[in-house]
Structure 1
């Protein structure tokens, strides 16, 4: 699975779904990731999106707790995004950058405790239509890609490596697996969720 995401990490791996990655303090809300994979040398946190980038709605912000000097100097780029998001609204229309920064900070906290590398994967779909059948325009999909890539460039080379991929690429990689069970799984996912 991690290879299908384009990641190189040492195995074996443990997978946990809906995992909380706590900040370095008690109380308050801590980020929940869709999946967390822990290997011998890394913690890989996966945030998965299907329709969310193409819905309108308000975005959450940051409380003053996020300004605490507990994140380390190797998180400067994520912290710069935090500061930009706190000072200027409307930087991202489809990408929930606030959530991604919070996830990265929780991941950094936990990976440091375990002395492992930290990788945050943003895995997303590009559906042609919403569940109710309303189309998702190509412009919205392209806009989301641009925002995703802009965010990835802004946080590149921090302690938390930010990795972007989409479901189409993931399923293509799984379908090319040497393992027949993995190929069958990819085929069934496509049958159920296509187009991705």
Structure 2
């Protein structure tokens, strides 16, 4: 399985000639969707679900997402939109997917909390969206959010220590300056050394091969 980091919150997975893309938002290059067979979307925020990009998907592409996206950014798409919730499991583009989580992390006291689902792919890669969801399953590779109005770094470290993945790679990090990314790199390196795990930030466009 090949995992490629795209801008901000988007990840592209490739396996056996199939392509699955997670959370192609407005801060992501449209090339992330090139050749996509399936798209997973965790929640209905602009940096995770860009309607203009989704409208380019052909009718044979499967989109799996929560109700908020299905009735929002993904409403009326030519692609096949299917709604999922916590506890669901399905197969798409050659990947086995399990759904964990229900709600986005609290962001602002005047903003409603929206639905948010996380996806575990092939019992290996877990993408939580905008939440620190702990799935009821072992996680080999965790895509860990590291920068957002709703989080602080102590929570990121606590999440890593609770999930205890063999590998964890930063996502949701486009809001940082270069100095901020340097801080993130330092904190992740410290945690990598503490846990004896591969915990770090992948540069946009770089890929990791997972067994």
Q: TM-score, structure 1 length as denominator?
A: 0.28
Structure with the higher fraction of residues in helix conformation? 1
Q: TM-score, structure 2 length as denominator?
A: 0.26
Higher relative contact order (CA 8 A, sep 6+): 1
Structure of higher CA gyration radius? 1
